[in-house]
Structure 1
Amino acid sequence: MKKILFPTDFSEVATNAFVHALEFAKIVQGELILLHSYDLPVFDEQFFHENFKEIYDSLELLQFDLFKDEIPKLRTIADGHHLGKIKMTHRLMGGDLTSNIKKAIQEDEIDFVVMGTSGATDWDAFFVGSKSGSVIMGIDVPMLCIPLGAKHKKIKTIGYRTRFKDEDKIALKKVLNIAKKTNANVKCLYVKTQYSDISKDTIEKWEKEFEQEPIAFFVVTGDEIKDIVLDFVLEKKIDVLTMLTYKRGVFADIFKPRFAVNNTPNFEIPILEIPVD
């Protein structure tokens, strides 16, 4: 059974993402591990030496009470979506969010992370300014990021940005496994810029290899990668966009200034991040 880590602070953003996490667990036949991570205050022991432990103990108790009160609400949400049979366990951890996620991934042998993001209408904030943006580059398992405006719906089309590299093929097969479980189609986009080094022969070999799969390949020529990707999402009615995480700078650059333009539509869809070694 796949293990899915769901970090939550019990906010509106996290609660919205929880429904996606439940549905994703159903798709991959997995269980959820709910993680509530809270910051630990930094005190100068010179002034708080005697009460140091008491302060931390009281903070932990306060967070435990919050955790205890919120868990039944999440179970009610699960029951309301007829997903109450999804197995759920819980972790309460003090300290840095990213560090706690990494620790939980290792200790619980996590396969996926599902996490809400507050960058609801601005993908630059989505990947750079939100909590999930700070986590993306720090973990080595696939991560499904859910913006607040992304209401759950049946996944019919999964978008996948490829560079026709070996690592892309490995990730694409993972995406195919998910697509088959939800009867979705996969639409792959290759942006051919002036610096592209992929031959027509390579593309044809990929098409031949995957011709029996529910995949369609699209090659678009241009140097405005971010605009091409976003137009692709709109035109092909993508429900989930999948991308490989190479390094933060390259990834974040795809989602910049366009959103300051008037009448720009919102792109509130889940993003599945697959890390590359």
Structure 2
Amino acid sequence: MKKILVPTDFSDQAKYALKLAAEIAKKTDAELTLLHVVEIPGQTSFNTMGEATNVDGMEGVFVMKMIEQGKKKLKELRNDELLEDVNLKTELKAGNTYYNISSIINEYEPELVVMGTSGSSGVDEILIGSNAEKVVRNAKCPVLTLKEEISLANIDNVVFATSLKSDDKELAAKMKEIAHLSYAKIHLLKINTPNNFESSTTTYKRMDEYMKNNGLEAEKHIHNGINEEEGILEFAKDNNIDLIAMGTHGRKGLMHLLSGSIAEDVVNHSKRPVLTLKIAD
């Protein structure tokens, strides 16, 4: 692993993400880029030197104060002992948070994005969603999201939840790398649902073929659930899983509204870290 990106809003969740990312960076000698975006409603981007052309005077003054605060906090983090011996870069942008995170991902081409998320529910989940969910849906690299503090030393069990239909070599490789760093045991999980049920004999045979195709060594599990999301979360809770890994199809527009995303739902509702990667249908 050579490059890790950590977007931060300086919240507790973002600090948890930075702590875990710093551990991974130290163990892999990766460069860590810490990104802060000053959110400006109605703007995709804003020159952080203050040269905006369509922001009025009072709003411009407020934005510049926010930018200066962001610079100060990034500087403070640079001197944090947590980041000692980390090859660190900092970036400050202003405008739309998701737009700027996506731009940095495309320019910087990190091999891993680590993000804190608070999750959402009800109307907020339907209408807004979080920036973390949007990044999970669209990023071309693996994304690790977390809500609570965790260290590599506490990741003992990793579950790889899959439909067994996709070629997940890139996601499997990243999941194996994190599991190796924490000496964790890997579990391969297939959820049986009422609308997508198959015999255990068939599933275990497919699992063996899947593991061979993706270079995996794992303990195999079949779990029955009402749906995939609930089945994954139930299995994780019942089996002391510390990290969930899974692919996402990154559906957009009408397809996303109609069918949703199992990975985004798991990211939104899981208390455990979730590693995702956009995969082809």
TM-score normalised by structure 1 residue count = 0.77
Deviation per CA, 1:188-227: give whole Å up to 9, x if none: 11012342579343223345678x9652111224443333
Aligned to 2:261: 250
Provide the aligned length of Structure 1 versus Structure 2: 257
What letter is aligned with 2:102?
K
Aligned to 2:149: 150
Aligned to 1:226: 229
Deviation per CA, 1:206-258: give whole Å up to 9, x if none: 45678x965211122444333321221122211111111113513268559xx
Contact 1:121 1:268 in 2 (8 A): no
Cα RMSD over matched residues?
Answer: 3.5
Aligned to 2:29: 29
Distance between the aligned counterparts of 1:51 and 1:274, measured in 2? 37
Aligned to 2:87: 87
Contact 1:98 1:138 in 2 (8 A): no
Distance 1:187 1:141, change over 3 A: same
In the TM superposition, residue 86 of structure 1 has moved relative to its aligned partner by 0.6
Distance between the aligned counterparts of 1:119 and 1:29, measured in 2? 30
| Equivalences for residues 1-277 of structure 1 within 5 A | 2-42=2-42, 52=55, 58-59=61-62, 61-77=64-80, 79=81, 81=82, 83-119=83-119, 129-147=129-147, 149-152=148-151, 154=153, 155-193=155-193, 194-196=195-197, 199-200=202-203, 201-206=205-210, 214-246=217-249, 247=251, 249-251=260-262, 255=266, 267-277=270-280
Distance 1:120 1:168, change over 3 A: same
Aligned to 1:263: none
SS at match of 1:234: helix
Structure 1, unpaired ranges of 5+: 44-48, 260-266
Identity rate, percent: 27
Distance 1:213 1:59, change over 3 A: same
The worse-fitting range, judged by mean Cα deviation, of 198-207 and 168-177 is 198-207
What letter is aligned with 2:20?
H
